[in-house]
Amino acid sequence: MIEATLCFVIEDEAVLLIEKRRGLGEGWYNGPGGKLEAGETPRECAVREVDEEVGISVDPDDLERAAELTFRLDGDVHTRCHVFCTHSYHGDPRATEEARPEWRAIDDVPYDQMWEDDRLWLPSVLEGETVVGTFEFEGGPPLDEADFVAHDLEVGVEFSE
């Protein structure tokens, strides 16, 4: 199982998205994020990935837990994703080999250029809600070539730290 993070930086009525330039989901939009390294907490991973992918700094104490997402592929857990939001950052987003950052109005998120499940949970997260979800895919690997077949979603969940 892969343990991963996403981090959505929100400023005014806009969210910082990335267009993935390589790897899983290449060419699609998402928030900065990636796989946890050995010994790393989800918060530490989110901070590192935002810096590596778009060159800005976020404070781990300013990250708000927004979602816990489980992705199942052909019946087995493939990825567990810890999603954070923040309204605070330092620096100017810049393109890297991994990602091209782009500010998008929250009401203009390109869901048609994102993972199919994003349209189910991300609107709630961008409205400040918390979400727990499980998403079922069949026909992989890889996950980005599998078919999205089912989901279970709970909004308004309280997370314990």
Q: Which residues contact 98 (CB under 8 A, 6 or more apart)?
A: 18, 20, 21, 22, 23, 52, 53
Distance CA 126, CA 107 (A): 10
pLDDT tens profile 82-104: 999 999 999 999 999 999 999 99
- Res. 152: pLDDT tops 80: yes
Which of the pair, 136 or 160, is modelled with greater confidence?
A: 136
Closest listed residue to residue 84, CA positions, set 21, 131, 39:
131
pLDDT of residue 161: 66
Size of the chain, expressed as the number of residues it contains:
161
Model pTM? 0.94
Q: Where are the domains of the chain?
A: 2-155
Please give the residue that has the higher pLDDT: either 159 or 107.
Answer: 107
| H or E, element range at 99 | strand 99-105
Q: What is the pLDDT of residues 28-68, one digit of tens each?
A: 999 999 999 999 999 999 999 999 999 999 999 999 999 99
What three-state secondary structure class fits 15?
strand
Q: Is residue 138 within 8 Å of residue 107, measured between CB atoms?
A: no
CA distance linking residue 82 with residue 153, whole number of Å: 15
User: Each residue of 101-140: pLDDT tens digit?
Assistant: 999 999 999 999 999 999 999 999 999 999 999 999 998 7
For domain 2-155, the CATH architecture is Alpha-Beta Complex (3.90)
Residue 15 has a pLDDT of: 98
Q: Are strands 147-155 and 33-35 parallel, antiparallel or unpaired?
A: unpaired
Question: Could you tell me the pLDDT band of residue 144, with boundaries at 50, 70 and 90?
Answer: confident
φ, ψ of residue 74 in degrees (nearest 5):
50, 40
Which is it for strands 131-138 and 64-73: parallel, antiparallel or unpaired? parallel
